[in-house]
Structure 1
Amino acid sequence: MFDADLSLVPAHQRILVAASGGADSMALIVWLLSEQRNVVVGHVNHALDELRGGACARDEAWLRLRCDELGVPLQSETIVLERRDGHVNEAVARTGRYAALQRLALANDCALVATAHTASDALEGLILNIGRGAGLRGQSSFASSRPLGDGLTLVRPLWRVGRQQVRDWLLSQNQTWLEDESNLSELFRRNRVRAEVVPLLSSIFGREADSLARSFALNAQLSRDEDSFLEREAQRTLEMLIVKRGEKLLALNGIALRDLDVALARRVLRLAARSVQPELREIERLKIETVRLAAVNGQKREVWTWRNGVRVEWTGAGSGNRFRFWCV
């Protein structure tokens, strides 16, 4: 049984499937076609042939041939990524890739962009996030569905399917795929997690890696549901605490925030900072806690400087016990 999530891909919507030619994306294409879905394949060429010995061009040519055999259209876009010391930053590559997929989806009248992330990817991501000290959101790994922008929705129908199950199913369908040699490189931390940590966990718990990955993926969905609820509560609470709002300026009732449950207070402070500077993605927990404790402990006025030009002020009792956020 191939336990992909059909509810994420309604039959009336056209789907751009992000594909590299690897097993996961080929399984997603073949499965969607077997379910009579309206599919366009989208391929992003990272133009790294000089680093990969011409593999980018070969991969695209192979994928185009397979799409012709399957009777599905292929649309591709080449992106040029900035390199430092011959290497491409993974986060930069991911941002460029998703931007290209959005353009391809819009150009081909697709409402959905489907990626082939599996339960195994979720497990590896969870381990990496825990290693970085992630909170509840990081522990939920990736969402099975989320807005992508421009009216598009990103879906991951294979979120509860393990990597080995994908390959077994492809073989049962007499399908082929490409193996990306970079998946074997120990230069990438995720590859080491896949090759060393996951087999160790599988051995410790006496379960196959796919079974373990599926359990983690299901639990991650529960964590994401709870995180989404807490985020909505924090947004609602933030609106109630605002005493002044201006362009890139926000002032909050510090006494009311002080009396909030600690988990909610931290989220409200994080949302307030992002409301004045949307580009502020990462905020260290220690910084959030330092600001919160200024109100709890009744400290005197203090100002903190955060990333991306964000300033945070605790006014103290002399100026109304307020938190002020602004961006410079």
Structure 2
Amino acid sequence: MDSIVSDHSLVERLELSWPVEQWQGLTVLVAVSGGADSVAMACALSVLAGRGKADLVLAHFDHQWREESAGDAHFVEKLAGQLGCKHVKGQAGQQGFQNEQEARQQRYAFLLEMARSEGARFVVTAHTADDQVETILDRILRGTGLRGLSGIPRTRVLDEGIVLLRPLLCCHKAELKEYLDELGQEWCEDESNLDTDFTRNRIRHQLVPLLKSEFQPSVEESLLNLAELAGQTQQFLQSHAGQLAERAVTVARDDQQQKVTIDLSALASVPPLLVREMLVEIWCQLDWPRQAMGMRQWNQLLEMIQDETTPSSQTFPGNVRVTRDEKKSGGQLKLTRRLENIETKD
């Protein structure tokens, strides 16, 4: 089995995506559900870890959604032993289905906690190109902008010195299953992934096949190219929005609240698109909730900056209070959020 693992093209692609030199000698926390994608990633990473003298820790979080979930946890523990890796596990505080947002928060809170305790510099998850396609379609259907079209980011900072990485975004699920078949390596099947009551599953099992068969066989490649271009454009906007924020935004915090002051005179003649991106960046940097901040809310906020006839005081999702002070020279927009409204970051 080792020779097959070492020589397989998937291992080579993974190393191209994430060169061993970038993590040699370090501890890496590998999120493993027991499904084909994460099992294949764990197997391939174990080969590269051997080359780079890195330590892998397989981490499994049991949401307790299904009766079979305990079996999945046992499978991952056994896989860790097979690969010669340390194993850690956690589980949801209550049995039964949580909504997807709650589940995600619990899962990432667990992964961050384990990364801290194990001294891991990286947390890796097995998101694939197929997941990227589904995410983009889901966001288009729900309504999105450039940030949403750019899809799942390859990296994200979880905490100081800890980076979340998704090295398999260049690979498709079929490739991973082919790799496991060649290894003779089993994986766990989650039957809930076939349940078309969930929007994500309908996209995977109905919409994508329909688009490929009836409209465009290469639709997945087209969407991935769109995501790449959107991501590049988003990075450009973020860079300029950051420069704008340095000139126009002041952030303060005390024991009771976070306060943001925007100098409206610094925004004169700045294109609305860039101002709106600056506002989104403020929300991101302060970790204010953006789930309920749709285009209508962002435009309302933009109007408070650009149109003096709009109400001078409004409350936005997450209890962010926004007031326009026209008495100051050039005008100011003040955003305030009490700390009691701020939830722990996932």
TM-score range for the pair, normalised by the shorter chain length: 0.7 to 0.9
Give the conservation status (yes or no) of the 8 Å contact 2:149–2:226: no
Amino acid at match of 1:120: D
Report the RMSD for the aligned CA atoms in angstroms: 2.6
Whole-angstrom CA distance in 2 between matches of 1:200 and 1:87: 29
Instruction: Give the match for residue 243 of structure 2.
Output: 236
Whole-angstrom CA distance in 2 between matches of 1:244 and 1:193: 41
SS of 2:260's equivalent in the other structure is: strand
SS of 1:237's equivalent in the other structure is: helix
Does residue 178 of the first structure (1) align with residue 188 of the second (2)? yes
SS of 1:87's equivalent in the other structure is: coil
Whole-angstrom CA distance in 1 between matches of 2:310 and 2:288: 29
Instruction: Give the match for residue 343 of structure 2.
Output: none
Runs of 4+ in 1 over 6 A off after TM superposition: none
Does residue 146 of the first structure (1) align with residue 156 of the second (2)? yes
Whole-angstrom CA distance in 2 between matches of 1:103 and 1:272: 26
Deviation of 1:140 (Å): 1.2
Give the conservation status (yes or no) of the 8 Å contact 1:44–1:77: yes
SS of 1:161's equivalent in the other structure is: coil
Q: TM-score, normalised by structure 2?
A: 0.82
Whole-angstrom CA distance in 2 between matches of 1:136 and 1:152: 26
SS of 1:64's equivalent in the other structure is: helix
- The unaligned stretches of length 5 or more in structure 1 are none
SS of 1:265's equivalent in the other structure is: helix
Whole-angstrom CA distance in 2 between matches of 1:289 and 1:145: 29
Deviation of 1:187 (Å): 2.2
Q: CA-to-partner distance for each residue in 1:97-125, whole Å, 9 max, x for gaps? A: 11111222222222111100000001101
Please identify, of 140-149 and 233-242, the stretch whose mean Cα deviation from structure 2 is larger: 233-242
Does residue 71 of the first structure (1) align with residue 78 of the second (2)? no
Does residue 227 of the first structure (1) align with residue 234 of the second (2)? yes
Deviation of 1:43 (Å): 0.9
Please identify, of 162-171 and 4-13, the stretch whose mean Cα deviation from structure 2 is larger: 4-13
Which of 52, 55, 62 matches 2:66?
Answer: 52
Give the conservation status (yes or no) of the 8 Å contact 1:119–1:214: no
Deviation of 1:30 (Å): 0.9
Whole-angstrom CA distance in 2 between matches of 1:151 and 1:316: 42
Q: 1:214 to 1:60 in 2, by over 3 A?
A: farther
Q: CA-to-partner distance for each residue in 1:61-105, whole Å, 9 max, x for gaps? A: 122223222322222122314x7xx53111111111111112222
SS of 1:263's equivalent in the other structure is: helix
Instruction: Give the match for residue 26 of structure 1.
Output: 39
Instruction: Give the match for residue 104 of structure 2.
Output: 94
Which of 272, 284, 287 matches 1:262?
Answer: 272
Instruction: Give the match for residue 93 of structure 2.
Output: 80
Deviation of 1:324 (Å): 2.1
Which of 183, 200, 215 matches 1:190?
Answer: 200
- How many residues are treated as equivalent by the alignment? 317
Amino acid at match of 2:62: N
Which of 179, 182, 194 matches 1:169?
Answer: 179
Whole-angstrom CA distance in 2 between matches of 1:170 and 1:260: 53
Which of 279, 288, 294 matches 2:288?
Answer: 279
Q: 1:204 to 1:111 in 2, by over 3 A?
A: same
Q: 1:111 to 1:214 in 2, by over 3 A?
A: farther
Amino acid at match of 1:24: D
- The unaligned stretches of length 5 or more in structure 2 are 1-8, 339-346
SS of 1:34's equivalent in the other structure is: helix
Deviation of 1:301 (Å): 5.7
Amino acid at match of 2:80: C
Q: TM-score, normalised by structure 1?
A: 0.86
SS of 1:157's equivalent in the other structure is: coil
